[in-house]
Amino acid sequence: MALNLTPITLRNQLFLFSFNSKSSPNSRLSFNSNYYHSLHLPKPLFPFSSLPSSPSSWLCHIPRVTTAPVEYAPPAPDFDFSHEIARLNILRSRLSASKNLNEKHSVVDKDATVKQFLGTNQNDGFSTVLASLNLDSYELFLVKCLVAAGQEHVLSFGSQPVQSESELARSSLKSALYALVEMIDKLDVDRVGGNGGVGKNISFALNYEEIEAIKKLLKTLGEIEQFYDCIGGIIGYQITVLELLARSCKRQATNWSQTRTESKECQFLEIHAPSGLDLSQSTEYASQAAIWGIEGLSDLGEIYPLGGSADRLGLVDPDTGECLPAAMLPYCGRTLLEGLIRDLQAREFLYFKLYGKQCITPVAMMTSSAKNNHERITSLCERLGWFGRGRSSFKLFEQPLVPTVGAEDGKWLVAKPFTPVCKPGGHGVLWKLAYDKGIFKWFYEHGRKAATVRQVSNVVAATDLTLLALAGIGLHHGKKLGFASCERQLGATEGINVLIEKKNLDGRWTYGLSCIEYTEFDKFGITNGPLAPESLQARFPANTNILYVDLHSAELVGSSENENSLPGMVLNIKKPVVYVDHFGRQQSVSGGRLECTMQNIADSFFSTSSSRCYDRVEDNLDTFIVYNERRRVTSSAKRKRKHADKSLHQTPDGSLLDILRNACNLLSNCDIRLPEIKGNDVYVDSGPPFLLLLHPALGPLWEVTRQKFHGGSISKGSELQIEVAEFLWRNVQLDGSLIIVAEHVMGSMRIDESDEPILQYGQRCGRCKLQNVKVLNKGIDWNSGNNEYWKHDVQRLETFKVTLYGNAEFEATDVVLEGNHVFEVPNGYKMKIEPGRPGLSVQLDPIEPSIMDSGSWFWNYKIKGSHIQLELVEL
């Protein structure tokens, strides 16, 4: 006998049920819900009279009607932060004292918010429904924690603000669940099951997308509970959010002088501009520090925090339209991640040239699930054969996503049912996550004791000796942490490095280097407007997030099991949270998410003194700072340049100009004449004055590169691209486009015992010599509207291009190379171009077998004092 249930209406919300006892054992008790009130419509989307005559076909023919966009609803003006924080603090303390999961359930069940949500007489029914979703005890606990944290709305289909306590107690989802439970009870399920009916196969039938959303929600809740265990899991996360929001509200009425005197942690606190080595001024010591850095390369690892969402870049896949992470930005002919590895390999090539030893630096990359970050980065590494370094030299570890919250009351923002708007929790989670995921142990297994850290969007961090000197000083002096810094720039959304001075309550003095994020400037009385010469913010250098870190010291912080493992927790609510709701409409809401800042691990390395210090305080600290010219330290491709935007700051366009300025500075000291590069505003509409892209393995230290170049000129509108490390330029005049590309820039691939291709430095490299040469051609079509200079995607009218395969060599001497020419030199051959009678004489000869590995010539590197000298050796 078929049993058809008629539609019922609960609390102005239409639920459609269909049940047939003749169904197969796998039949499911289903419901559909339509929340026309949350859509703010004057009447239901479809009246009862419009339903199909057969109830069994309702679910087949009627489209599911989802909720309205989940927008942030401002709270009542009397929202009490202190009361909510106090309630959650009590709950956190009781949960912390619980010995097992059962005790945790008991604690959270007694919470007033949870009791209100479940209903005093409905606990068993609600649990039955959750059990039908196959939730285990821990997952049920996570759901209860979500409710206890005041985020019941995440579990609701409806987005309409709750109007009363009774409506809060019976949300739309709960109403559906209770109705379903009551119906199941009335049907005497066990008896029906015994007659071949539904029995235990009855289940709560959400659609596939909703089931997947619930699974994803549970995964997110589990990650928050586990990762933020040091502050109390989900409950602790919400407490911290509310505390930061409350401080933000209070700070609006509190100035810096009040903050200094009212601190509960110390009697006195001041910030000072830190002193440190200026690499651009103390050149001899800087060179020595760089040598220390090269010597210690085998003790160093590399860490890349790649998990950020990089929303400001607006990067999308041109084929699929999917959003892409910053690491995938095509920049100067390759992705940003490839650029980081190139810089690292250049340092390893320098190490090989000096010591004759192969050094493969282990690289740890922190990813996230935002924009499929982890999968895309993994796929890129696999596609490029792990950059010829072997899979075992990389360790990828994924940071959890965290919910964004509304600025007024800390409610989690929700894009659609069961789907909070989540983003990465900042790069400061690095240290705890690295401990949790065994990254420190992995570095130790590779024989490393320290690491350098840089962000993927900073394209100049490895310029000249900045990174090597930073690492060298840290290793040589046994420091725990080091910063590479520079002067601040107008309009930059960047923090500052400071020297903290505190007098503690016990009368002792504490000193240490630290960072203040730009979002926290007002807390210290620092404005973020124009940099006046005598203004407070002008005194402080920029925080660039280029770090040296002692791994053991960082591990102690990451494993500390308290909030110290999450340094620099901030809640940036100065920028709106932008997301797309399930109607495809973009929403912009005042809010933020809890973020940590990796550089504030420095706060765990402060030093204490019995008396106040006045001179050379930094000399006695476990942390240090070095300075260099800004364009040799930081220039970022962080945001997409908008149409008609007159500012190039922190755009790919602006960072390219800084790369060109560095190249111009480098080569102009080689007696090479180049056009002047003016301010960014000059090139907003015209593009750069020339393109000059040099492979970092030509140095990477400028004193090495300068010994490979001497004399000549590069005219305005020219293009020079050198992708070869063994290179000689003597008196070359370029007016047009010159491109030299080697297949093997620094060495050749060999297959290791794991059957992986490994780059063997120094073996069978491509080589090129240009002596007394003029290159004349039409070069780049600067009038083309299709040119994207920062991508190095340009239209050319003519070019002179040489491609070197394998260990091929190219030499041109005393010639004028005019017009469009493309030469491809095969592996094992040398091509020579000399004056002919008439025109040019082009010779292609095989390389002698005895010099097949070393080539017919090479640069010999030697350390002389604190400098590196090159000698040209010809065989």
**Average pLDDT of the segment spanning 285-297:** 98
pLDDT at 532: 52
Q: Which two tokens stand for residue 378?
A: 């993994």
Instruction: Look up tokens 């339903």; give the residue.
Output: 51
Is pLDDT larger for residue 41 or for residue 694?
694
Q: Which pTM value belongs to this model?
A: 0.85
Distance CA 382, CA 709 (A): 36
User: What amino acid occupies position 407?
Assistant: A
Q: Among 280, 629, 326, which residue's Cα sits nearest to residue 487?
A: 629
Strand partners, 872: 859
Q: Among 258, 270, 244, 307, which residue's Cα sits nearest to residue 574?
A: 244
User: What amino acid occupies position 47?
Assistant: P
CA distances from 603 to 429, 564, 640, 722 (A): 15, 8, 33, 43
Q: Is 74's pLDDT higher than 90? A: no
pLDDT tens digits along 402-460? 999 999 899 999 998 899 999 999 999 999 999 999 999 999 999 999 999 999 999 99
pLDDT tens digits along 657-686? 999 999 999 999 999 999 999 888 888 878
Lowest mean pLDDT across 308-317, 336-345, 537-546, 630-639: 308-317
Half-sphere exposure of 781 (CA within 13 A, CB side): 11
pLDDT-derived band of residue 254, with 50, 70 and 90 as boundaries?
very low
Q: Is 33's pLDDT higher than 80? A: no
Helix H or strand E encompassing 422: strand 422-424
- 361-379 burial code (b ≥16 CB/10 A, e <16): bbbbbbbbbbbbbbebbbe
Lowest mean pLDDT across 50-64, 154-168, 343-357, 609-623: 50-64
pLDDT at 78: 60
Q: Is 72's pLDDT higher than 70? A: no
Q: Which two tokens stand for residue 10?
A: 């609960």
Length of the chain: 875
Q: Is 176's pLDDT higher than 70? A: no
For 617, phi then psi, to 5°, come to -60, -40
The overall average pLDDT reported for the chain is: 83
pLDDT-derived band of residue 523, with 50, 70 and 90 as boundaries?
confident
Instruction: Look up tokens 């900073």; give the residue.
Output: 458
CA 779, distance to chain mean position in Å, is: 37
* 205 contacts 31 by C-beta, under 8 angstroms: yes
Q: Among 633, 632, 636, 676, which residue's Cα sits nearest to residue 656?
A: 636
pLDDT at 122: 52
Is pLDDT larger for residue 803 or for residue 266?
803
* 795 contacts 781 by C-beta, under 8 angstroms: yes
* 856 contacts 846 by C-beta, under 8 angstroms: no
**Average pLDDT of the segment spanning 820-824:** 97
User: What amino acid occupies position 709?
Assistant: F
Distance CA 45, CA 36 (A): 6
pLDDT tens digits along 829-870? 999 999 998 889 999 999 999 999 999 999 999 999 999 999
pLDDT tens digits along 733-768? 999 999 999 999 999 999 988 889 999 999 899 999
E strand intervals along 273-349: 277-278, 300-305, 330-331, 334-335
